Amino acid sequence: MNRRTFVASAVAATAIATGLKPADASTAPFRRAGQDVDLSDRIYKTLKYGMVGIEGSLTDKFKAVKEAGFAAIELDSPLRFSGNVSIDDVLKAVKESGLPVDGTVCGSHWDLTHSSPDAEMRAAALKDLKDAIEQTGAVGGTTVLLVAGHGKDGTPEEIEARAIENISQALPTAAKYGVSIVIENVWNKMHYDHDGPFETQTAERLVKFVDAFNSPFVGMQFDIGNHWKYGSMGDWIRQLGRRIVKLDLKGFSRATGRFTKIGEGDLDWADVRKALDEINFCGYAAAEVKGGDLARLKEVSANMDRVLGL
C-alpha cells in the first residue's frame, strides 16, 4: 500500500467511525465529526487599524484589540498612512502586546491607480506598493491588500493590461520579503458590471485577472460585504477557490443599498460558511466596519463569531 492509498484509507476509516460518509471526508478534510460546517480552527479574526478608537500608545491600541478577541491587526502601508509610525514602533507594540500584524492595506491605491494612463502615476503607485511590501514584511505581515485599478482609467482591456503590467513589477519584491499582493473586490468598476444585475454576474473576469500574474504571490482578499452588490457570494467564493488568501467582512443590505454591521442586512451567511468550507479556506478574516472603543471592538468580534460560526 503506497502512502496516498494509506492516507485515503485512514480518512475513510475515520469517517466511518465518526458517522461521516467517506465522500464527506474526501471533499472537506477539515470538517469535524457531526458538524456540517465548522470553521472555528480555520479562520482567525483581524481588523483594520483605522477601526481602533483607543486612546494612548500604539501598544495600548494593540492590547485593546487583543482583549477584544482578535488574533491580529492590519495596518495601513506604507506606514505613513498609519499615523507615521515607524517599523520600530510597530515591532515594539507587537512585542509588548503579543498581537501580531497579519498584513496591511495599501493606503494610496485609490489616488494612485495602477491602471492609470499616466505613466508617472503608475510609477508612483508601484513605488508605494513596493514600499508597502517591504515594510509589511519588516513588521511580520504576510499580505498587502491592493485595489488593482479603476474603471475610470479606460476600457476594461486597457485598464486590466496596464494594471497587470504595473503590479507585476512588484513581484520580485513580494518574493524577496515573502509578502503576497492580495487584490480586493471593491466598487471600482473593474471586473464586474457595477450597475448590472446581480443574478447573472460571475467571477470569470476576476479569476482571469488574478491568474494572469501566474504567481504564488498574487491572490485575493475577498470582501464579502462589497460583493453582495454583484451576486451570490457563495458562488463567487467557489469560483475563486484557492485564489482567496484572506477575507474582509462587513454587512450589506440590497434593500437599502447600504453597508451594515456584520450580521445585519440580508447577506446569506449560511451559504458563505458552506462555500468557505467547500474550498477548505484557512486564513484571516478582517473586519472592515465602523470601529470605536473597547466595547465596540468586542461587539464586532462577537458579530464575526456569530456569522462565521467561530
**Domain ranges, ordered by start, for the chain:** 1-34, 37-308
Average pLDDT of the segment spanning 3-7: 39
- Looking at the predicted structure, is the pLDDT value of residue 75 above 80? yes
> Residue 191's pLDDT is what?
85
Distance, CA of 288 to CA of 300 (rounded, Å): 9
Average pLDDT of the segment spanning 120-145: 98
> Residue 40's pLDDT is what?
87
Q: How many helices (H) and strands (E) does the chain have?
A: 12, 10
Q: How confident is the model at residue 304 (pLDDT cuts 50, 70, 90)?
A: very high
Q: How confident is the model at residue 12 (pLDDT cuts 50, 70, 90)?
A: very low
> Residue 125's pLDDT is what?
97
Tell me if 180 sits within 8 A of 219, measured CB to CB. yes
- Looking at the predicted structure, is the pLDDT value of residue 2 above 90? no
Q: What one-character-per-residue DSSP string does 186-245 give?
A: -SSSSSS-TTS-SSS--SHHHHHHHHHT--TTEEEEEEHHHHTTTS-HHHHHHHHGGGEE
Please report, rounded to a whole number, the percentage of residues in the chain having pLDDT higher than 70. 88
- Rounded-to-5 percentages of helix, strand, coil across the chain: 45, 15, 35
Average pLDDT of the segment spanning 241-263: 91
3-state secondary structure of 247: strand
- Looking at the predicted structure, is the pLDDT value of residue 306 above 60? yes
Average pLDDT of the segment spanning 286-310: 96
> Residue 267's pLDDT is what?
86
28, 230, 307 from 271: Cα distances, Å: 15, 16, 11
> Residue 203's pLDDT is what?
86
Q: Over the chain, what is the mean pLDDT?
A: 88
CATH class of the region 37-308: alpha beta
Place of cell 492590519: 74
> Residue 56's pLDDT is what?
95
Which of these, 177, 185, 227, lies nearest to 206 by C-alpha position? Answer: 185
How does pLDDT run across 181-211, given as a tens digit for each residue? 999 988 888 888 877 777 777 888 899 999 9
- Looking at the predicted structure, is the pLDDT value of residue 36 above 70? no
Distance, CA of 225 to CA of 238 (rounded, Å): 16
Amino acid at 236: W
C-alpha cell read off for 244:
482567496
Please report, rounded to a whole number, the percentage of residues in the chain having pLDDT higher than 90. 69
Amino acid at 61: K
Among 128-142, 188-202, 214-228, top mean pLDDT goes to 128-142
> Residue 199's pLDDT is what?
77
User: For the chain, how big is the Rg over CA atoms in Å?
Assistant: 20
C-alpha cell read off for 38:
465548522
Distance, CA of 91 to CA of 74 (rounded, Å): 14
> Residue 198's pLDDT is what?
78
Angular region, 241: left φ>0, alpha ψ -120 to 50, beta rest = left
- Looking at the predicted structure, is the pLDDT value of residue 307 above 50? yes
More confident call, 53 vs 41: 53
Distance, CA of 255 to CA of 246 (rounded, Å): 27
- Looking at the predicted structure, is the pLDDT value of residue 288 above 70? yes
Beta bridge partners of 285: 45, 247
Angular region, 290: left φ>0, alpha ψ -120 to 50, beta rest = beta
- Looking at the predicted structure, is the pLDDT value of residue 155 above 80? yes
Q: How confident is the model at residue 291 (pLDDT cuts 50, 70, 90)?
A: very high
